[in-house]
A and B are shown apart, each in its own frame.
Chain A
């Protein structure tokens, strides 16, 4: 039954080849099917041994209380993206395969299988990054990502020769004490590249700023959530993080440089991409501390960051150089999202920063809170400046300027031709997400209980291994 989460979107993808537009229409149905299956037909704590081969010999798919919330979140994001983005050519087919691959990388319990799904995600990411004539940025990403994938492969094979099997649960019983840190360094390089920690994350500004309505959302929200899950699974559950202090320092340096980089950007897309680097580096820095409260706060921060960036990137792609005067709903959503990123009270971001700082003070860590506060101040600086610029932008000149380079290909002759440059689907989705941020701002316990549950389960290895040893149902 669990395998249907991967097989059905894949079947949809193969079925959408005959006609170019089919993929775009199949995508919401595939995401909806996954969500219905997850909510009504599957409960956590079950595994599936593919082909009925026992766990160490074959591949297992694991649905436990850590992967279940991540699956729901990711499929929800895909459903929202399918409504808000304009997918042209055959990008709909690629998004269907991305759905299958992202579900696969969260469900799988086998190292080489996760490598294969990681490579599927990477190949789709290179193609999606080249949207809107951005071949140079996509090529840079290809080189970085290719090295990352190769390191992951070396790590997976090293697990095989030390543990005798490729299964994740059995891998934690490697007896050689020298082997585990070295294997983890290989995995760490991959995650530093993919999770955009500078200096290995230098591909991100070029890729995220191509002005496409779905590239930053697909890569920055959907793929990032699944890779944070994989990071937590490998480094918090199965192995231990090698030299967590070094990872923490790298992440903190990355936060500072990303915020400083965002400050002097003139292009909204590039500024937002630096903000994304800083946000995910904060999550990585928090995860490297490996205490329950901190990890739970990191997941809350991830939730807030992913949703706000979804809104910001979608709107910035559609607006181009326009302002908010003629599109008030877009402006409200944009402002709400920026305030949530900064951490204003009444929004989810405030609680994200509050829980993170409180948990960090409890474990006597003072460098990271200082860095987060400095970063918040810089963020406030440039995000508020962008908001003021966009709200007070002169309507006529921005419209005619926008007519030259837009998401829609037609030119604009006069002002009377404009109605909504932001498509209706995108408006609805961004408004819903912005309202979610406000609701969580008033009732943070809805999400905080979930993240505490995840954090408690992910740091404890016993339940995971017992689940796999017990066998499938």
Chain B
């Protein structure tokens, strides 16, 4: 059962997808999207692990190379920042929706829209 980290990340992915499809509240959908991003980042970093390797930095502790794979870590650095950008945009959009319709629940939003139109 050494692949347990992969299973953890897949289950988190499943939870995220379940959240997006089943939850009606818009904010919960945004949080589920954030869970999906985190799950994928865990998965990518786990892909680079080498048994017995150290963190990929030349230092007094590891003067000669014996490292895990640094490339997935570089990819995850970029992916986290992109996830933060998306989350920030989602938040400001939710503030807009809340100002306009008074709630974040799609049922109440639909009622407000029908009254307006």
Residues on A facing B (Cβ under 8 Å): 112, 116, 119, 122-123, 126-127, 130, 133, 135-136, 138-139, 142-143, 146-147, 149-150, 153-154, 156-157, 160-161
Contacts and interface: CB of A to CB of B under 8 A. Distances in A.
Contacts, number: 72
A410 to B, nearest CB: 23
A160 B40 contact: no
Contacts of A136: 97, 101, 109
Nearest to A119: B82
> Secondary structure of the A side of the interface?
helix
A146 B44 contact: no
A150 B86 CA distance: 12
Contact of A130 (B43, B96, B101): B96
B5 interface: no
B40 A147 contact: no
Contact of B93 (A130, A157, A160, A161): A130
B111 to A, nearest CB: 14
> Secondary structure of the B side of the interface?
helix
A363 to B, nearest CB: 37
Interface string B35-68: 0110010011001000000000000000000000
Contacts of A116: 78, 82
A35 B7 CA distance: 49
A221 to B, nearest CB: 23
A130 B36 CA distance: 24
Contacts of B93: 126, 130, 135, 138-139, 142
Contacts of B101: 136
B77 to A, nearest CB: 11
B54 to A, nearest CB: 21
Contacts of B30: 143
B110 to A, nearest CB: 10
B8 interface: no
Q: Among the interface residues A119, A127, A139, which one has the most CB atoms of the partner chain B within 10 A?
A: A139
